Amino acid sequence: MQFSAEVLIVLAPLFAAAIAGLFQRYLGDKVAMGLTTASVGLSLVLSWPIFIDFVWGDGQARVTELFSFIDVAGFTSTWSVRIDTMSAIMLVVVNTVSFLVHVYSIGYMAEDPHRARFFSYLSFFTFAMLALVTANDFLQLFFGWEGVGVASYLLIGFWFQKRSANDAAIKAFVVNRIGDFGFALGIMACFTFLGTIKFFPTAAGDLALFAGSVNGVEVAGQIERLAHQALVLGDVVLPAAEVTAFLLFIGAMGKSAQFFLHVWLPDAMEGPTPVSALIHAATMVTAGVFMVCRLGELYHIAPLASGFVTIVGATTALFAATVGLAQNDIKRVVAYSTCSQLGYMFFAAGVGAYNAAMFHLFTHAFFKALLFLGAGSVIHGLHHEQDMRYMGGVRKPMPITWAMMTIGTFALIGFGIPGIGAVFGLPGLGFAGFYSKDAIIEAAYGSHGIGAQFAFWCGVGAALLTSFYSWRLAFMTFEGKFRPNPHAHHDDHAAGAHADHGHDDHHHDGHAKPADGSAPAHESPWIMLAPLIVLAIGAVLAGAVFYPYFLGHHAGEFWDHVIPFHEGHHDFPTWVLWAPLIVTVTGFLLAIVFYLWKPGASKAMAKGPVWAFLYNKWYFDELYNFVFVKGARALGDLFWKWGDQKTIDGLGPDGVAASSRFFSRNLRKVQTGFVYHYSFVMLIAAVAFGAYAILAGIGGGQ
Amino acid sequence: MSEIVAGWPILSILTFLPAAGAVLILLSRMSARGLNPGYDNGVKLLTLFFTIATFVVSLFAFAAFDPANPAFQLTENIPWAFGASYAMGVDTLAMSLVMLTTFLTPLCILASWVIEKQVSSYMVLFLLLETLMIGVFCAQDIILFYIFFEGGLIPMFILIGVWGGERRVYAAFKFFLYTLLGSLLMLVAIVAMVSMARAAGIENPFSIPALTEFAQSGGFSPDIQIWLWLAFFASFAVKMPMWPVHTWLPDAHVEAPTAASVVLAAILLKMGGYGFLRFSLPMFPDASHFFTPFVFALSVIAIVWASLVAFRQLDMKKLIAYSSVAHMGFVTMGIFSGNEQGIQGAIFQMLSHGIISGALFLCVGVVYDRMHTREIAFYGGLVNRMPVYAAIFLLFTMGNVGLPGTSGFPGEILTMVGAFQVNAWVAAGAALGVILSAAYALTLYRKVAFGVIENPNLDGITDLDTREWVMFVPLVVATLVMGLAPGYVLDFTQNSAEAISAAFLGARP
């Protein structure tokens, strides 16, 4: 067992979560909040220098091994903390967003009676996520993977009195389990073919998937062996690398809410908004992307599976954006946007641009957390109204929130001017999303992989829709006149936290309806605004500052063989470079037409059948409910009532019992009879056996 | 510490200490005539003392035991009639199950504190049950094994039949029918094996190690193995229970008092798995190979079938009973995958299931003691009144789901890793159980713990009291320690798993 500051990064949030969770009654809310926030703050302070060392210094990949987890005949996993470029990126993403969300929640959850529990869960989540990103083998990765799943389950269902929140929590967990089904089988496949589940060697002579250097000695990986093996299932022979990569990607599809397994993410918005920002936007849902990139060398030798990744990612990018167009719940729009952006990351990984995928993961964390927390600020300011149809005119009362949300929107749509900025070694000048998203679209264009061209067009199309729904959100929320909710409101929260009444009453008093048509809202407290401002700085600068390292001139040294990296070619046709900007501006103009200039047009549009199809999310929930939920129920009933009760019991014990009841009618009581029966049979049997044994003994002449 | 017990018949002390407690209670009952109002409480305390003492003795045995030594240890041997003998001894497999038994029984006694009907008889039976259970795992003579194996069911019948619920007679009768069938066939097989071994000139044909050695030197031809295997299978499959002979279990659980449910799920079911590992694989390896596809099929059916049925249950105990059937499917699958991962996983899954399912039945017992119903629909919103209970229940629910970090995970993943190497489809089928277990377990939890309290009967329900705290804390610790550092257990059982795996794989056609 070794110990280092890096171990503390991972464990500090765990200790804080345990203490805050177990002793919340004795510590009180303030101490619990302070402790958990401070612990994540500590992890944050410790992780930035590591990242900076990889960017500007010469950070070396290293592993701290703690103690053995499982070790059965080569199936070996060790609790460890692996630090390399990949985990350094994730450490700063996770800890930065987590710390800001902790701080924000101090304000957002101020009136909640279960604050201590909330913060304990948040810190536990942070721990599980850190364990995931610092794993050096599949089992620890899976531990973190499931750990964040549980934290997500607990936080989605945080308002446990709300039925819809509980159902959403179960849905999230079970759909993720469908992904885990594939993930677990992928782990088994990997072990069966390679005899190891370790990513990189930690000592000379270690079996590991990928090559690495240990104490200056280069140790070979096993991954190439996969290319020469096959899984034989009866008559079917499948290439081992493809099977393994495909199965593992099923897990990523669940965790990162990709097409077919995306249905849980929008429902997860039942959780408190800071949770959505941390777990369902910036960190947990990117775990799938992280895994695929971490296993880049595997996907590199599995072109079919990579093609599948590309197609699923591209489909998700476009599909989720279409659904995002038609949602009215502000959080659901952002949720579908997240789904769509994750699709971008996946098709980047699918076409082999792992660095672009990771870069988009990095920049997306800032602006998407910003958008979620901004949406939370609006919801908080409007007394828990989440429906954008009942918003409008929020800019004036909430100017800082508006400004930060606008920055987030610019970053999300990837606004930037290509071709300028060569002085700084940049391909253009723009917000953070510009660098990463354009790099992904260009990578798809330049790739010859399966589905790459499809992905390119999906990427461009999704960029148009992204711009449209983002500005739609901005305009419906902040511009125009306030449209009060005709229905009794607060139903969102009413069943949730009873102590919210204090909160609501407090705010209602001070807000008569403003005469100028702006919303009767209040700007959020500074403890909520400060995280927004920090994230906004990231949404502006994260792209330009780190572009040279993730994608540009220094990328080779930065990635240092942790992922497969090739110098990309930079001579794309001009129209490819400009296409994203053109569609983005088009989306912006369309949004102006529909939501500022001619709002009647958008209302008419909202009545059409296409809109209903999109609003109902392509009816996926209805379909799944019919096929899987009802199907499982029907099968369960069939197996139980027809199978167990009628068939098995009917032919077996009940049939026998009926006949034996006939015989036992002469006996006094069945109730005690069975004991005698049994003892009697045993006794007879034993006597017979003894007699036989003795006879046999005599016969055998012994 | 091993010097202290050197020369002592430690396994006999361990096995018969609970029985001695039972005798003491019987004697005290004769003298006290049950008139003293504090008598019942005294009996409970005495029983608790004896079960804890047994646990302490098992710790001594554990300390004297050398896990690096693959042979049977702490052996005792007293010959009696016709070549059979009173032979005791344990290897790492048996030792781990003995520890599980002695660890859980005191907690069962704590759970039985609420028993008010015929307390002294109940406690006597429980102590006898513990003796018989420990005896099963310690016995090295096949007759002795048979006596303990079948004898253990008598106290269980009576516990269900007298202290059980409304349909206790039906449940006990069903239990009886199934078990009787299995045990008779096993007895026939034992007779056949012993006579064959004797005919071949084996000196002590009743000794399990001698029979194993005889079998592995080719003593039983593959054709004979098939019949012997089937006869043993009849008994062990019922005990596990495997599909389709599983229907006695939900009924028995529903009717059994809480502590009997715990013992039934945690220990009695493990006798089936123990039997497969002790007899079927090492003694009939050729037949085991022959029947592997058959067992795989039954295991996967059990996992999927029982999980889907669990999803539809209205009674908490029935739901957990069906989930036990599904979890035992992983055990049989792991055992018959025959490689080290599979067998280690199966042993681990048995131990972990003992703790988690035991704890879940205790969780049901806690609310049953307060409300006298196990109907899921009766409850809802318990977290509002019982936050500590809700937290503990959640932990064990997650353990049941096989969440990494709890003891439920290593067994499941190892058995699947084992199976995947033999047949990827089987592992894939079993992995469906991973999805389904999340669905039924979390739905149960949602219905019982989350939401608002709508049933006015629950308004006054109280959180765990001190006794219940004491009962749960060891289980919580065991679940987490075995989940985070399963190596302690896996390293311990490695010897047995290696030996069984080698015996099985050595016979691969």
pLDDT of residue B101: 94
Closest CA to A285 of A322, A249, A326, A338: A338
Q: Which helix (H) or strand (E) covers residue B445, if one does? A: helix B424-448
Nearest CB partner across the interface for B435, out of A150, A174, A233 = A174
pLDDT > 90? residue A638: no
User: Per-residue pLDDT averaged across A274-295, rounded?
Assistant: 92
CA distance B265 to B260: 8
Residue A198 backbone dihedrals phi, psi, to 5 degrees: -90, 140
Q: What is the mean pLDDT of chain A?
A: 84
Residue type for position B265: A
Residues in a beta bridge with A233: A236
β-pairing, A75-83 vs A62-72, is antiparallel
Contact residues on chain A for B389, CB-CB shorter than 8 A? none
pLDDT digits (tens, 9 = 90+) for A70-96: 999 889 999 999 999 999 999 999 999
Cα B152 versus chain centre, distance: 12
- Coil, strand or helix at B88: strand
Those residues with Cβ within 8 angstroms of residue B280's Cβ, 6 or more apart along the chain or in another chain: B229, B232, B233, B236, B287, B288
Q: Which helix (H) or strand (E) covers residue A88, if one does? A: helix A85-108
Lowest mean pLDDT among A155-164, A427-436, A525-534, B4-13: B4-13
pLDDT of residue A121: 93
pLDDT of residue A396: 87
Residue type for position A653: P
pLDDT > 90? residue A694: no
pLDDT digits (tens, 9 = 90+) for B76-128: 888 877 777 888 999 999 999 999 999 999 999 999 898 888 888 889 889 99
Return the ∠ at Cα A614 (arms to A610 and A616), rounded to 5°.
115
Contact residues on chain B for A185, CB-CB shorter than 8 A? 416, 420, 424, 427-428, 431
pLDDT > 80? residue A511: no
Cis omega before residue B244 (within 30°)? yes
Closest CA to A190 of A218, A210, A212: A210
CB B165 within 8 A of CB B192: no
Mutate to test the interface with A, among B168, B173, B337 (most CBs of A within 10 A): B173
Question: What are the CB-based long-range contacts (under 8 Å, 24+) for A16-24?
Answer: A16/A40, A16/A120, A16/A123, A17/A120, A17/A121, A17/A122, A17/A123, A17/A124, A17/A126, A17/A127, A18/A120, A20/A116, A20/A119, A20/A120, A20/A123, A21/A116, A21/A117, A21/A120, A21/A121, A21/A124, A24/A116, A24/A117, A24/A120
Residue appearing with tokens 């009866």: A234
Q: Which helix (H) or strand (E) covers residue A585, if one does? A: helix A574-592
- Coil, strand or helix at B333: helix
Q: Return the percentage of chain A with pLDDT > 70, whole number.
A: 88
CA distance A305 to A246: 5
Question: Which token pair is A463?
Answer: 């960029």
Mutate to test the interface with A, among B308, B397, B500 (most CBs of A within 10 A): B308
- Regions of chain B where pLDDT drops below 70: 1-6, 32-37, 508-509
Residue A329 backbone dihedrals phi, psi, to 5 degrees: -75, 125
pLDDT of residue B56: 94
Nearest residue on chain A to B501, alpha-carbon basis? A73
pLDDT of residue A652: 67
Using the beta-carbon criterion (under 8 Å), do B405 and A635 form an inter-chain contact? no
More confident residue, B432 or A660: B432
Closest CA to A136 of A589, A562, A660: A562
Q: Looking at CA atoms only, how far is residue B5 from chain A in angstroms? A: 32
Q: Return the percentage of chain A with pLDDT > 90, whole number.
A: 45
Residue type for position B448: V
Look up residue B479 and give its DSSP letter: H
pLDDT > 60? residue A235: yes
User: Per-residue pLDDT averaged across A225-250, rounded?
Assistant: 88
CA distance B179 to A194: 44
Contact residues on chain A for B248, CB-CB shorter than 8 A? 653
- Coil, strand or helix at B29: helix
CB A101 within 8 A of CB A41: no
Cα B358 versus chain centre, distance: 9
Chain B contact present for A659, CB below 8 A: no
Q: CB B75: neighbour CB atoms within 10 A?
A: 15
Using the beta-carbon criterion (under 8 Å), do B452 and A495 form an inter-chain contact? yes
